[in-house]
Chain A
Amino acid sequence: MAVLLIVSEFGPPPPGSPLARSVRKINAADHVTVDTGSNVIATLMTDSTTTVCAGAIERLVHHLATRPELDVFYGDSSFGPSTDTTTLRPAWSPIRLLTMPTDLDHLVVRGRHTAGSLTDRIEVLTTVDADRIGHIPDVLVEVSVLPELDAAARSALERAAMTRSVTLEPFRPDRFRLTPTTVDAISVVIPTAATAGADGRPLVEDAIAACLATEIAKLEILLVVGDECRVDPTMLTADSRVRAVRRSPGTWNFSAAVNRGILASSHPTVLVLNDDVELISADWVARMASHLADPSVGAVGALLLYPDLTCQHVGMVTDDAFPLHPFVGRTVEQLEALDADLAHDRIAVTAACLLARRADLLAVGGFSNELPFGFNDVDLCFKLHRAGLRVVVEPSARLVHHESASRTPVTRAWEWDRFIARWGEVVDPWYHPGYHRPDDPDERRHNADHLPPTQPHHGLPRTTAIHSRIHHARLGATDRADSAS
Chain B
Amino acid sequence: MSDDPINSDDPIVLRAEILALRDQLAVAGSGKEMLHDIVAERDCHIAELDARASALAEELARNPIVRVGRAVMQRLGRR
Interface residue ranges, A against B (CB under 8 Å): 248, 256, 259-260, 263, 362-366, 368-370, 379, 382-383, 386-387, 422-424, 426, 467-470
B32 to chain A, nearest CB (A): 9
Among A387, A424, A468, max chain B CB count under 10 A is at A468
Does B25 have its Cβ within 8 Å of any Cβ on chain A? yes
For chain B residues 7-28, which have a beta carbon within 8 Å of chain A?
A: 12, 15-16, 19-27
Q: Report whether B19 and A423 are in contact in the complex, using a CB–CB cutoff of 8 Å.
A: no
A260-B16, A470-B34 as given contacts; A364 in contact with B23, CB under 8 Å: yes
Q: Report whether A423 and B23 are in contact in the complex, using a CB–CB cutoff of 8 Å.
A: no
Q: Report whether A469 and B23 are in contact in the complex, using a CB–CB cutoff of 8 Å.
A: no
Does B30 have its Cβ within 8 Å of any Cβ on chain A? yes
Q: Which residues of A contact B20 (CB under 8 A)?
A: 365, 369
A365-B19, A470-B38 as given contacts; A263 in contact with B27, CB under 8 Å: no
A259-B16, A263-B12, A263-B16 as given contacts; A364 in contact with B30, CB under 8 Å: no
Q: Report whether A263 and B15 are in contact in the complex, using a CB–CB cutoff of 8 Å.
A: yes
Q: Which residues of B contact A387 (CB under 8 A)?
A: 26
Can you report 7 A-B residue pairs in the complex whose CB atoms are below 8 A from each other? A369-B20, A422-B27, A423-B30, A468-B33, A469-B37, A470-B37, A470-B41
Q: Report whether B27 and A423 are in contact in the complex, using a CB–CB cutoff of 8 Å.
A: yes
- Which of A248, A364, A370, A470 is the one whose CB lies under 8 Å from B12? A248
- Which of B21, B30, B34 is the one whose CB lies under 8 Å from A365? B21
- Which of A256, A363, A468 is the one whose CB lies under 8 Å from B30? A468
Does B29 have its Cβ within 8 Å of any Cβ on chain A? yes
Q: Which residues of B contact A469 (CB under 8 A)?
A: 33-34, 37
- Which of A263, A364, A370 is the one whose CB lies under 8 Å from B22? A364
Q: How far is the CA of A248 from the CA of B15 in the complex (A)?
A: 12
A256-B16, A260-B16, A365-B19 as given contacts; A467 in contact with B33, CB under 8 Å: yes
Q: How far is the CA of A463 from the CA of B16 in the complex (A)?
A: 34
Q: Report whether A468 and B21 are in contact in the complex, using a CB–CB cutoff of 8 Å.
A: no
Q: Report whether A424 and B37 are in contact in the complex, using a CB–CB cutoff of 8 Å.
A: yes
The 9 closest A-B pairs by CB, nearest first: A365-B23, A365-B22, A468-B30, A383-B26, A468-B33, A424-B34, A469-B37, A470-B37, A364-B26
B17 to chain A, nearest CB (A): 10
Q: Report whether A259 and B38 are in contact in the complex, using a CB–CB cutoff of 8 Å.
A: no
Q: Report whether A365 and B25 are in contact in the complex, using a CB–CB cutoff of 8 Å.
A: yes
Q: How far is the CA of A379 from the CA of B24 in the complex (A)?
A: 12
Q: How far is the CA of A164 from the CA of B21 in the complex (A)?
A: 32
**Other A-B pairs beyond A362-B22, A386-B26, 6, CB < 8 Å:** A256-B16, A365-B23, A365-B24, A365-B25, A423-B30, A424-B34
Q: Which residues of B contact A248 (CB under 8 A)?
A: 12, 16
- Least CB separation from A368: chain B residue: B23
Q: Which residues of A contact B21 (CB under 8 A)?
A: 365
Among B15, B16, B27, max chain A CB count under 10 A is at B27
Q: Report whether B30 and A422 are in contact in the complex, using a CB–CB cutoff of 8 Å.
A: yes
Q: Which residues of B contact A383 (CB under 8 A)?
A: 23, 26-27
Q: Which residues of A contact B37 (CB under 8 A)?
A: 424, 468-470
Q: Which residues of A contact B30 (CB under 8 A)?
A: 382, 386, 422-424, 426, 468
- Which of A263, A366, A468, A470 is the one whose CB lies under 8 Å from B23? A366
Q: Report whether A369 and B23 are in contact in the complex, using a CB–CB cutoff of 8 Å.
A: yes
Q: How far is the CA of A422 from the CA of B22 in the complex (A)?
A: 14
- Least CB separation from B32: chain A residue: A468
A206 to chain B, nearest CB (A): 29
A377 to chain B, nearest CB (A): 14
Q: Which residues of B contact A363 (CB under 8 A)?
A: 22
Q: Report whether B34 and A366 are in contact in the complex, using a CB–CB cutoff of 8 Å.
A: no
Q: How far is the CA of A365 from the CA of B28 in the complex (A)?
A: 12
Q: Which residues of B contact A422 (CB under 8 A)?
A: 27, 30-31
A385 to chain B, nearest CB (A): 10
Q: Which residues of B contact A259 (CB under 8 A)?
A: 16, 19
Q: Which residues of A contact B29 (CB under 8 A)?
A: 386, 468
